Amino acid sequence: MTKIIGLTGGIGSGKTTIANYFKSFGIPVYIADDEARKIMQSSEITDAIKNVFGDTVFENEKLNREKLAKIVFNNPEKLEKLNKIVHPAVKKHFEQWLLQHTAAPYVIYEAAILFESGSYKNCDLIITVTAPVESRIQRVIERDKTTRELVLKRINAQWTDEQRISKSDFIIENTSIETTKLEVVKILKILKIRQKAL
């Protein structure tokens, strides 16, 4: 049976880069945030979001993710409401995706809020990616063209590295491309050895 390896880390830690390293070794990778973005465009989800958050987060009938993010990252209660709409849909989509990869010994499930969403309970092993906070902030500011204040709010809405590490099987310190790639290779070797025991 295909094993699920959860891959997580705080915003800006470099999870997706690491997920792509695994992908380059032929391992199927599911990027939960990317899929959630697509799912959030479906009429079923946009209708549910409209019911909870109203028309203010829509522009020309299209969901404005930035407006929605500003609301939910300032309000834990509203963030939880959004998660209750999106997470079950992502879970269902992942289960369908998994059926297409039953021949793989394991797949990578990459999610920023693997622990917060409870998705970690479905994983056989978990990898946490860490990186210095300042590096993470700079990466997200550049990537999302956002402000330091908004990045910090998003960091504070997530679990801390310490919390994630305490529940993880592997830790990757993403400080340089070279060492990070070596960490991935090391994990792959361990997985190969443990494959029969998993």
Which residues make up each annotated binding site?
Answer: 12-17
Residues near 69 by beta carbon (within 8 Å), at least 6 away in sequence: 150, 154
Q: What is the pLDDT along the chain (198 residues), one digit of tens a residue?
A: 899 999 999 999 999 999 999 999 999 999 999 999 999 999 999 999 999 999 999 998 889 988 898 898 778 899 889 999 999 999 999 999 999 999 999 999 999 999 988 999 999 999 999 999 999 999 999 998 989 998 998 898 889 999 999 999 999 999 998 999 999 999 999 998 887 655
Q: How many domains does the chain have?
A: 1
Residue 181 has a pLDDT of 93
| CB 117, CB 111: distance < 8 Å | yes
Residue 197 confidence (pLDDT): 58
Residue 91 structure tokens: 């879970």
Instruction: Quote the CA–CA distance of 198 and 194 in Å, as a whole number.
Output: 6
* CATH number of the domain within which 136 lies: 3.40.50.300
**Which of 30, 50, 47, 36 is closest to 99 using CA atoms?**
30
Q: 7 near 123, Cβ under 8 Å?
A: no
Give the domain range for residue 88: 3-194
What are residue 142's phi and psi, to 5 degrees?
A: -70, -45
Beta bridge partners of 171: 128
pTM over 0.85: yes
Instruction: Give all strands of the β-sheet with 125-130 in edge-to-edge order.
Output: 29-31, 106-110, 3-9, 125-130, 170-173
Q: Which residues are annotated as a binding site for ATP?
A: 12-17
The pLDDT of residue 157? 83
CA distance 68 to 65: 5
End-to-end Cα distance, the chain: 10
